[in-house]
């Protein structure tokens, strides 16, 4: 059993209208317009007997719109000697559904996986990622998350340094 984290992000800012929308909310939350930069991406956590090759295929043929997006696949299992990703600064905010909360997107991904010939026990969950490369206050991001992007009754809010 492996678990993979797949991140699908817009190729360019012009393909990220959600980011533009959240930028306004970030400013409303108190971030100065100069440093109010938001990038968004979609996250998928996929578990099961899935090979690295299969997961690449899942990313490119199921999850990704190749015209406007790129994909990054990460095996969440710790690999010896794996270097941590280079810090980009700012903060990353991931919003996952709490366990047990309906995740229709995750269910559709599971169907898509079977269409690709992946069988056996599989699980898929979906999340939204926001990246604030120039933000300096974690509490402001937390405030934004609680105020407008997530609801702790149904979401797990994960904020960390970018």
Nearest residue (CB) to another protein, 65 versus 75:
65
Retrieve residue 89's tokens: 């600064």
Cα distance between residue 157 and residue 94, in whole Å? 6
Cα distance between residue 49 and residue 42, in whole Å? 22
Q: What share of the chain is helix, strand, coil (3-state, %, to 5)?
A: 35, 30, 35
Q: Taking CB under 8 A as the criterion, which residues in 66-105 touch another protein?
A: 66-68, 97-98, 100-105
Cα distance between residue 26 and residue 37, in whole Å? 8
Which H helix or E strand runs over 123?
strand 122-132
Q: How many residues bind another protein (CB under 8 A)?
A: 33
Q: Which stretch binds another protein (CB under 8 A): 45-53, 82-90, 108-116, 128-136?
A: 108-116
Per CB under 8 A, 15 contacts another protein: yes
Q: Considering only residues 77, 88, 148, 160, which one is a binding residue for another protein as defined by CB under 8 A?
A: 148
The residues that touch another protein, with contacts defined as CB under 8 A, are 15, 17-18, 20-21, 61-63, 65-68, 97-98, 100-105, 107-109, 111-112, 115-116, 126, 147-148, 151, 153-154
């Amino acid at each position: 059993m492996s678990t993979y984290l797949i991140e699908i992000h817009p190729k360019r800012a012009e393909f990220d209208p959600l980011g533009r929308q959240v930028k306004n909310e970030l400013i409303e939350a108190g971030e100065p317009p100069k440093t109010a930069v938001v990038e968004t991406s979609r996250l998928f956590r996929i578990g099961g007997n899935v090979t690295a090759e299969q997961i690449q295929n899942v990313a490119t043929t199921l999850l990704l719109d190749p015209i406007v997006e790129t994909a990054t696949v990460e095996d969440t299992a710790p690999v010896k000697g794996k270097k941590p990703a280079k810090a980009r600064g700012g903060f990353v905010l991931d919003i996952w559904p709490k366990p047990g909360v309906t995740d229709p997107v995750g269910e559709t991904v599971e169907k898509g996986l079977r269409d690709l010939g992946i069988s056996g026990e599989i699980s898929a969950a979906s999340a939204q990622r926001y990246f604030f490369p120039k933000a300096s206050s974690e509490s402001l991001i937390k405030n934004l998350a609680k105020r407008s992007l997530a609801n702790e009754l149904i979401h797990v809010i994960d904020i960390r340094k970018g």
